[in-house]
Structures are given as C-alpha cells and as structure tokens.
Amino acid sequence: MEQEKPLILVTNDDGITAPGIRALIKLMTTIGEVYVVAPDSPQSGMGHAITVNNTLYCDKVVIEKDAPQQEYSCSGTPVDCVKLATREILPKKPDLCVSGINHGSNSAINVIYSGTMSAAVEAGIEGIPAIGFSLLDYAMDANFVPGESFIKKIVENVLQNGLPKGVVLNVNIPKLKKDEIKGIKICRQANAHWFEEFDKRTNPMGREYYWLSGKFINEDKGEDTDEWALKNGFISVVPTHFDLTAHHFIQELNNWSLHD
Amino acid sequence: MEQEKPLILVTNDDGITAPGIRALIKLMTTIGEVYVVAPDSPQSGMGHAITVNNTLYCDKVVIEKDAPQQEYSCSGTPVDCVKLATREILPKKPDLCVSGINHGSNSAINVIYSGTMSAAVEAGIEGIPAIGFSLLDYAMDANFVPGESFIKKIVENVLQNGLPKGVVLNVNIPKLKKDEIKGIKICRQANAHWFEEFDKRTNPMGREYYWLSGKFINEDKGEDTDEWALKNGFISVVPTHFDLTAHHFIQELNNWSLHD
C-alpha cells in the first residue's frame, strides 16, 4: 500500500515569483503534496506583521504550466499567508510548513525582522512543524542548488522526528559551492545587532526624507552561534521558539520594590 | 546640586495622537526630559516590521501648545521610530524607552504581533532599558488613569535598577477601577494563541476578499502567567527577551541524522 504523501505548505517573504521560493517548491514536490500560499509582492523586513486594518486578497494562480503544486497569491504579509492557508485554503492541517528560500541571511537578530521566519513561527504557533530557509546571497540570480541536498535532509528529518510544541527551525545556508559546504551545525542565535545609518535626502518637493540602512555588528565570539557556523562554511540550524519570556530574570524582578 | 533628569523616549503603535500615548507622555514629563518619536498613523499588528523598500518621513510637530516635550511624527513603523530617534533625533542615548500605552492587550502571544512591544524590543536591542505598556481596553476613550501610579512605580524601578542586557518589560494593565487593581505580578508569557476566522466578502467589482479576525484561546492553566494575573485583577509584568533560541532543544537536534 502506498503511503500518503505529506501535505506541505510553502510560503516566503520575497513574493511568489522569487527564484528562492520557486527552487523550494520544486524541491518539496519531490517529497510531498505541495500548496503554495505566498505574498504577491516582496515583504522583506515585515517581521510578524499582520493585516488588521485592511482587506486581504488571495487568488489561485498558475506560475508554471502543468506543475503539480496548487498556488495562491496573497496581498498580505507572510504571516497573513500562513493564517489564510491553514484556515481557508488547505484541505487539512499541513504536515509541514517551509518558508523561503530567502534571498539573504536571517541569522542572529535578523530572525526578528524576517518575514520568512515569522511565517515559520506563525505555523509553529498553529502547531505545524515549520522551517525557514535562507541563503546568504541577496542577488536575484542567487544559486540555490548547492544547498538543496541539505534542505532535503533537514525536511526529511523534521517529517520523521517532528518538532516539539513551540519550536521551529531557522536554517541559513552560506554562499558556497556544494563541495565547500562543510555540513550542518546546530547553533544558538548569535548576539549581534544592526548599527543603523540613515541616508538623509531631499525629495523633488523640497521635503527631507530618509532611507534606512546599516551595518551588521557581531560582538558574539561564541563558536556555538549561527554566525560562527556560517563564517566557517557550515549550514546553521537554530531551534527557534516564541516564548519570549526571559525566565532567568523573573526571580530578580520579584525582589524589586513593586509590591508595596 | 540638581540631578540631571533622565532622557526618556516615548513611542507607540496607535499613532502620535492616540489618547494612550498622550497619557504616557504626560506621566513621563513628571519624571524626565521627554522626546516623542511616534508613527503618524495607526500601526497595530505591525510586529517587528521595518521599512526597507520605502522612504521615511519624520517631522517635528506640536500636538499640545507649551508642552515640555519635543515631538516628531514619523511615516514608518514603531521599530523605524526607535531607530530614527536614537540615530537622528535624540541628543544622546536615552536612559529609557517607553512604548504605549497601547489600546488593547499585548499579553501572551500578542507580544509577537505587537508594534508597541516591538518598539520596546528594538530599544532593548540597542541597549536601552525599555518597557511596553498596554491597557486591556481597545476603546479610544479608554480610561488610563487607574494604571498611572503603577506605571510610574515600574518606570522608577527600571530607572533605579536598570535592566539586564537583552531584557525588556511587557506590562499589561487590566481594565479596572484603581481600587480594584490588586497590585503588580511578575509573570511568564501564557501559552495561548489566536484561532483565526476570516470574514469572506465580495467587493463592488465582484472580487472576493477577506477580513482577518479571530478568537483568543488560552489553554495555559498556569497561575504564573500574564493571562492569569490579568484575569485576577493584577497588572502583569513579563520580562521579555529577543534571544529566540530554543536552547533546551539543541542537544536533541544534535542527535538527529543531519551529519552523515
């Protein structure tokens, strides 16, 4: 008897036509039955934004003729896509949600700004095993091939082992040739941050405006971080959760004079 | 010799004219020198979104005549406001960032969707002690007075004790009269989620669209959670951090067959 194929939801934040999601869809159709629900336009930096004060459109689309997957293009954020997919579009709760492959890193603190990872986290909140994939290459013609066998291995492991409640995986892939990738390393999120630099300009009407840019600064010297792994040729896998409680600080807070 | 007043940055996600931020500004001017950098329009549900593909405007404004605070209205998200404030507007690194008072709860999983809390988290990433305040009342004419003495007490404690690197506070205030509030309780984030319900409609051009809505579901029976505290008449204080690593799962992941 043939085993039923796993139902896989694919989404991203670069938009449904981005090369990164096309590569991920192609790979997932070799593993399961694939539904794609992804933003109709780039949503980078959207974090865990949801659309509360506006309407959401979601249309069935055909991006590749005769492809096995079903695809839906959505006007909302990556998190909206996951919510719409699970509640309105998918025939049942998916066995897995994969998000990406993002064009650019979501390591370290980037996880918090990332639409790619927020989509995976949203799936995790809904109890669906979920993984965000990112390649450290912002280029539109980035080469996703070297990472593919590793992505497949990680996906198969998650389908086999499951993930504990409240945990999703943040996977980053270095920009290397396949034989240069040293393997997969389980890591913690590096304690790094962005140092903002605003580019101040004047518009044609004489009004000043800014462009946000910045430098990424990693002061975390640990060799167990995602930054270290990526710099040393490894694919980083960070188990990521959404209980933001700083449990270690609860006891000390109880000693503050808040209770008189 | 007079001690220098602390420099306090005030922001929010409901927009610079919302009653909640006006109440918080008024309270903070009794404690320190206040700068306001807040969104020019409501940004609820924006999570940790940043503006990467668009321009940012930020204008000095006067909302209340002869008020002691300096105020700037910004076209971006709450996180953009904090980045702009610290890099372009404030004379020096602030001693404190307060965000809110939000019209509506940011307890439990709401912390992850909340622009109010994301602004506080962003300040925390930049090494600034930060607190997000929310009142469990979505009404525009919500009564912020009952919580004021508690907000002041929390702020004074943070200014005196500081906060450890990487920790900010998520404060939620129940919708009660002052003498009904039982006090302040240090809590963990309840393990709750939203069950989405999409309202499907047809626009005047015949195209289908959705409104996102949902039911909040708390299956966490713990008496150490923010949900429990709020239901039982307490103000909840959850220490919140932005290391999303699920440290407890690293060891098990190392046992997976990812390394052959």
Record: contact A250-B49, CB cut-off 8 A: no
pLDDT given for residue A94 in this prediction: 98
Record: contact B51-A42, CB cut-off 8 A: no
Q: Which residues of A touch B50 (CB under 8 A)?
A: 45, 47, 113, 212
- Spatial CB neighbours of A59, under 8 Å, sequence gap ≥ 6: A72, A73, A74
Of chain B, the percentage scoring pLDDT greater than 90 comes to 86
| A121 lies in some domain | yes
- The minimum CA-CA distance between B232 and chain A, rounded to whole Å, is 16
Record: contact A50-B53, CB cut-off 8 A: no
Record: contact A49-B52, CB cut-off 8 A: no
- Binding-site positions of B for a divalent metal cation read 13-14, 44, 102
| B217 lies in some domain | no
Mean pLDDT, chain B, rounded, equals: 94
Tell me: the pLDDT tens digits for A98-129? 999 999 999 999 999 999 999 999 999 999 99
Separation of alpha carbons B38 and B60, rounded Å: 11
Record: contact A200-B88, CB cut-off 8 A: yes
pLDDT given for residue A260 in this prediction: 65
pLDDT given for residue A204 in this prediction: 92
Record: contact A256-B47, CB cut-off 8 A: no
Given a contact cutoff of 8 angstroms between Cβ atoms, the answer to whether A94 and A58 are in contact is no
Record: contact B49-A45, CB cut-off 8 A: yes
Strand B183-186 vs strand A130-135: parallel, antiparallel, or unpaired? Answer: unpaired
Separation of alpha carbons A179 and A159, rounded Å: 26
Tell me: the pLDDT tens digits for B12-40? 999 999 999 999 999 999 999 999 999 99
- The minimum CA-CA distance between B220 and chain A, rounded to whole Å, is 13
Record: contact B209-A55, CB cut-off 8 A: yes
Cis peptide before B101 (omega within 30 of 0): yes
Helix (H, G, I), strand (E, B) or coil at A206: coil
Record: contact A249-B258, CB cut-off 8 A: no
φ/ψ of residue A151, rounded to 5: -60, -45
Interface probe with B: pick from A55, A165, A212, A260, most Cβ of B within 10 Å: A212
List the structure tokens of A192.
């790094």
- The minimum CA-CA distance between B241 and chain A, rounded to whole Å, is 5
pLDDT given for residue B2 in this prediction: 57
Q: Which residues of A touch B83 (CB under 8 A)?
A: 196, 198, 212
Taking CA atoms, what residue in B is nearest to A57? B209
* Inter-axis angle of helices B148-161 and B19-28, nearest 10: 50
Separation of alpha carbons A35 and A21, rounded Å: 12
Taken in order A29, A31, A37, A42, is the CA torsion positive or negative?
A: negative
Closest CA to B48 of B110, B115, B131: B115
Chain-centre distance of CA A220, in angstroms?
22
Average pLDDT over residues A90-102: 97
Using only the alpha carbons of chain B, give its radius of gyration. 19
Taking CA atoms, what residue in A is nearest to B234? A259
Separation of alpha carbons A176 and A154, rounded Å: 18
Taking CA atoms, what residue in B is nearest to A83? B196
pLDDT given for residue A124 in this prediction: 96
Using only the alpha carbons of chain A, give its radius of gyration. 19
Record: contact B189-A125, CB cut-off 8 A: no
A170 has pLDDT over 80: yes
Separation of alpha carbons B9 and B32, rounded Å: 10
| Whole-complex ipTM | 0.90
Given a contact cutoff of 8 angstroms between Cβ atoms, the answer to whether A227 and A107 are in contact is yes
Beta bridge partners of A130: A97
- The minimum CA-CA distance between B239 and chain A, rounded to whole Å, is 5
Q: Which residues of A touch B53 (CB under 8 A)?
A: 42, 44-45
| B79 lies in some domain | yes
A2 has pLDDT over 60: no
A19-28, A43-52, A59-68, B104-113: least confidently modelled range: A43-52
- Spatial CB neighbours of B102, under 8 Å, sequence gap ≥ 6: B12, B13, B14, B20, B114, B116, B132, B133, B134, B135
Specify the number of domains making up chain A. 1
Size of interface A-B (CB pairs under 8 A): 217
Beta bridge partners of B71: B36, B61
Strand A208-218 vs strand A192-202: parallel, antiparallel, or unpaired? Answer: antiparallel
Cα torsion A240, A245, A251, A254 to 10°: value is 170
| A42 lies in some domain | yes
Selecting from A45, A164, A240 the residue whose C-beta is nearest the C-beta of B52 gives A45
- Spatial CB neighbours of A243, under 8 Å, sequence gap ≥ 6: A166, B188, B189, B191
CATH of the domain at A36: 3.40.1210.10
Given a contact cutoff of 8 angstroms between Cβ atoms, the answer to whether A137 and A143 are in contact is yes
Given a contact cutoff of 8 angstroms between Cβ atoms, the answer to whether A159 and A96 are in contact is yes
| B30 lies in some domain | yes
pLDDT given for residue A197 in this prediction: 87
- Spatial CB neighbours of A46, under 8 Å, sequence gap ≥ 6: A13, A77, A78, A79, A115, A118, B47, B49
Helix (H, G, I), strand (E, B) or coil at A142: coil
Domain interval for residue B182: 7-189+222-245
Record: contact A198-B167, CB cut-off 8 A: no
Beta bridge partners of A96: A8
How many CA atoms, within 13 angstroms, populate the side-chain half-sphere of residue B232?
A: 13
| A111 lies in some domain | yes
Given a contact cutoff of 8 angstroms between Cβ atoms, the answer to whether B94 and B128 are in contact is yes
pLDDT given for residue A4 in this prediction: 87
Selecting from B55, B203, B246 the residue whose C-beta is nearest the C-beta of A210 gives B55
Separation of alpha carbons B229 and B225, rounded Å: 6
Average pLDDT over residues B150-164: 96
A69 has pLDDT over 90: yes
- The minimum CA-CA distance between A203 and chain B, rounded to whole Å, is 10
| A169 lies in some domain | yes
| A205 lies in some domain | no
